[in-house]
Copies of this chain bind each other. A is one copy, B any other.
Amino acid sequence: MFDRIQTPAVLVDIDVAKRNITRFQAYADSHGLKVRPHIKTHKLPAIAELQLDAGAVGITCQKVSEAEAMIAASDRLNDVLITYNILGDDKLAALVALARKVKLAVVADNATVIDGIAAAFASAGVTLEVFVECNTGADRCGVGSPQEAVELAARIATAPGLRFAGLMTYPPVGGAARVQAFMTAAKTLIEARGIAVPAITSGGSPDMMKAHLAPVATEFRPGTYVYNDRSLVARGVAEWEDCALTVLATVVSVPAPDRAIIDAGSKTLTSDLLGLVGHGHVLGRPDITIDQLSEEHGRLRCDGDINLTVGQRIRIVPNHACVVTNMVDAVHVYGSGKAPELWPVPARGKII
């Protein structure tokens, strides 16, 4: 099926992706939770449309440039949340242009960002929805306390050009209780100021089937779930057969009985470890460890005879699917009864 594909290549089983989408949507529906998938995992307008078909209310992007690429590619991607603090005249001008086209929201966790977007939107005569990002333990962005969330909510609510949209968080794994506690406290305090909290949005594929443990949230933003990867299998929330994205590679050298070299290195698999040992799972060969990557070489080791031959092809489930998508201009999409087709990835490589 993949004989004519040059390696290394990124393969996507669209049937598995659809099954993953359907499964989480059914769970979310059963709990009255809205789904707003993060497109960083696939960066493909056609898969975002499948997520909408299943019932998603819109999409999440991480950058203005990602949102531009997705919106330009499909009229249906017209409800977008960008979960990032946006700064800088060029990015703000691009944001205003997008807000004229679609329903758009962003997040902010500090006054500088709020004042910047307020100035840009007020002078453009456009209104932008803004969530306050809250730190529920991941210690990345986000205000550190419900009290700080209230101050920023009030700043947004009174700023020209902005509308307070609610609260957003990207919690750590196992963080549902902290989400529930932080968001409940922040919501109560904000409402006590006479400001409505229209939505509370949380995310993260590892804990997505536990989203109901933070019932204060109204929306969930899973990303990796559409493809799954070795990190999610290691966490016990997916099986190998749920992994829609794999890397096809060719064995280019077997220089020792216990060692083989493939043509997929860090330029395809990336060096993301996500706490794991090794750089991916060779399908059907759990005895093999990918113990080292250089840009164009992946080194495979095993305790006994590696039993691979030069020219043989293998498939690898990467540690982290999202970052692999970003490395390639196109992916080979296939399914049952659907021969592989090359799909360009329009939202990849968006740096600024």
| Chain A residues at the B interface, C-beta cutoff of 8 Å | 6-9, 40, 62-63, 84-85, 87-88, 90-91, 109-110, 112-113, 135, 139-144, 250, 252-256, 259, 261, 263, 266-268, 270-273, 292, 294-297, 299, 309-311, 322-323, 326-329, 349, 351-352
- Tell me the complex Cα distance, A311–B116, Å: 10
Q: How far is the CB of A214 from chain B (nearest CB, A)?
A: 21
Residue numbers in B under 8 Å from A255 (CB-CB): 109-110, 135, 141-144
The answer to whether A252 and B139 touch across the interface, beta carbons within 8 angstroms, is no
Known: A142-B253, A143-B255. 8 other contacts (CB 8 A): A6-B88, A7-B88, A8-B351, A9-B351, A87-B263, A110-B255, A139-B299, A140-B292
The answer to whether B91 and A141 touch across the interface, beta carbons within 8 angstroms, is no
Q: How far is the CB of A4 from chain B (nearest CB, A)?
A: 9
Q: How many subunits of this chain does the assembly comprise? A: 2
Query: A253 is contacted by which of B7, B85, B273, B352 (Cβ under 8 Å)?
Result: B85
Q: Tell me whether A110 and B144 are in contact in the complex, defined as CB-CB below 8 angstroms, given that A139-B259, A139-B299, A273-B271 are known contacts.
A: no
The answer to whether A253 and B141 touch across the interface, beta carbons within 8 angstroms, is yes
Residue numbers in B under 8 Å from A295 (CB-CB): 40, 62, 322-323, 326
